[in-house]
Structure 1
């Protein structure tokens, strides 16, 4: 699948809305935090150590001005947090130049994979595996399953640069639930074995995380969850499915086996606050 700048902008816009929705849920819960629009994107601080504390959506609405970057850096510094920018490689290259000149450092990458969604899919599952929707009545079961699975990551490929405590992960997922993410449960031989999420907007299907309990890995759970979500994305009328992975990870491998291809890479550029000067 070919990704031009227009498609990348569309994907990043949908991601921006997801991050903003989760951040505002956190603000309602804590009474603090911020969302600052900047050059077509936004800077978000949801909660202490939240995965939604980052700058997203940059690259397609002009280069941020020095004044805009000053404001963002002051906002994060006031909370003792680094500024983390997720910048697509298809973005205006002048943005990366402006950030590096201000002391931002490249710390990692993540891949955005995509697939052109067909009109219809037949969901395929291995023998003994069942994929079903997961309603609000079992949200806590789904949430704890995901947290348990994420706590024991598959070590293939480049590791995530960030690891979050269990309580932080649980809280962030509760905030993200306000963004209309459909949840799925995978059963293997009747036991809960995995879970996943799917969000659809603007014809884009976001495959919003998937995890398999360690005891059930390597039995086709991830592929079955992908298959079910592709079928539902087609039913919803989506044109493109996207998934974010770490480079060379098993998640990327599984997605590519299902027909996903690499659309673009996000560079993770970080500026840490200056340490408090000694007196």
Structure 2
């Protein structure tokens, strides 16, 4: 898959979470060129670190990660993991015999890219929504040495806890993630691999949503820094079927936004397909739609 780039310390008390306001981010902020580059650079960094973990997990499988001259990366893992982690980010294209060529096109790329794809039998195959949010309005004390040992409470029944990347939390996170995603058609092996890649990342914090003491859902937050500034990326959210419709993902989003702000981050992103409820929950927690990327897939004869 190709992503065409745009041209051009411990406290004894933890601050209580503050509900973020619902209004969307101002369009003029989301459409600024620096903001677009910030989002795209963070996407490159996020997926690069994901593939670096797969290189550790599967040292004998010839997983590769290469820089793209125009700015970006090419990464190839195992074909059965699909295009999510077998693609190119940046102004280049790389394919394998085992994967159908697919391009995720940034709408801020030069329009000639879309014309060139159409001439080469690429057809529209879907969309990816890119959501973003400024954290300036979240009122919590900035504390880069905050404790993550305390649970956060949201309403009468929802608790969110954080987990360090150790063996116990990692196993629990993988099990919970698979339980939340296993009805989406992907194999358990793929789901376990994606969850394990989050567990092993040093830049990622794990989160668990709990109702009545049971794990109802989970998610992760990657804390990254690009040349345009710090960014907190929320990803791999899932809710187990028994607890859907009870605000689990919204609580997970809110907890991570408050933690990101407490750690000194002022910007956050979420990526999702339009067909799932993540976008609606993101908008309810103050995110705005930065842009939508069309997914162009090669039409095979």
Which TM-score band (shorter chain)? Answer: 0.7 to 0.9
| Partners of 2:101 and 2:298 within 8 A in 1 | yes
Q: Deviations over 1:6-25 (max 9, x none)?
A: 21221111111121222232
**Structure 1 contact 22–46 (Cα < 8 Å) conserved:** no
Normalised to the residue count of structure 2, the TM-score between the two structures is 0.76
How far, CA to CA, are the matches of 2:161 and 2:55 in structure 1?
32
User: In the alignment, which residue of structure 1 is the partner of 2:117?
Assistant: 99
Cα shift readout 1:162-218 (whole Å, capped 9, x = no counterpart): x42111121122234343221001110111111111112121110112111111122
Deviation of the 1:138 alpha carbon: 1.8
Q: TM-score normalized by structure 1? A: 0.81
How far apart in 1 are the matches of 2:292 and 2:133?
A: 15
2:162 maps to 133
Residue 149 of structure 1: how far off its partner (Å): 0.8
Distance 1:200 1:191 in 2: 27
Secondary structure of residue in 1 paired with 2:183: coil
Task: State whether structure 2 residue 204 is matched by structure 1 residue 171.
Answer: no
Unaligned ranges ≥5, structure 1 = 154-162
Q: 3-state SS of the aligned residue for 1:241?
A: strand
Deviation at 1:145, TM superposition (A): 0.7
Deviations 1:247-269 (CA, angstroms, capped at 9, x unpaired): 25321111111111110011112
Residue 97 of structure 1 deviates from its aligned partner by 2.5
Residues 231 and 218 (structure 1 numbering): CA distance in 2 closer, same or farther, change over 3 Å? same
The answer to whether the 8 Å contact 1:54/1:86 transfers is no
Matched, 1:259 2:286: yes
Q: Find out whether 1:81 has 2:99 as its counterpart.
A: yes
Structure 1 residues 248, 256: CA separation in 2 closer, same or farther (over 3 Å shift)?
Answer: farther
Q: 1:206 aligns to what SS in structure 2?
A: strand
1:223 aligns to what?
250
Tell me which of 186, 189, 192 is aligned to 2:209.
Answer: 186
Q: Distance in 2 between matches of 1:178 and 1:97?
A: 40
Q: CA deviation at 1:121?
A: 4.1
Query: SS in structure 2 opposite 1:32?
Result: coil
Gaps (5+ residues) in structure 2?
1-24, 141-151
Q: Is the 8 A contact 2:104 2:295 kept in 1?
A: yes
Kept after mapping to 2: 8 A contact 1:53/1:84: no
Q: How does 1:28-43 map to 2 (within 5 A)?
A: 28=56, 29=58, 30-38=60-68, 39-43=70-74
Q: Give the secondary-structure state (helix, strand or coil) at the position aligned to 1:187.
A: strand
Contact 1:182 1:197 in 2 (8 A): yes
Runs (4+) off by over 3 Å: 119-124, 176-179
Deviation for aligned residue 1:54 = 1.7
Paired position in structure 2 for 1:156: none
**Other-structure match for 1:114:** 132
Superposed counterparts of 1:141-160, under 5 Å = 141-152=172-183
RMSD (Å), alpha carbons: 2.2
Select the residue among 55, 62, 81 that pairs with 2:88: 55
Judge conservation of contact 1:49–1:164 (CA < 8 Å) in 2: no
Bigger helix share: 1
Partner of 1:205: 232
User: Contact conserved, 1:197 with 1:207, CA < 8 A, in 2?
Assistant: yes
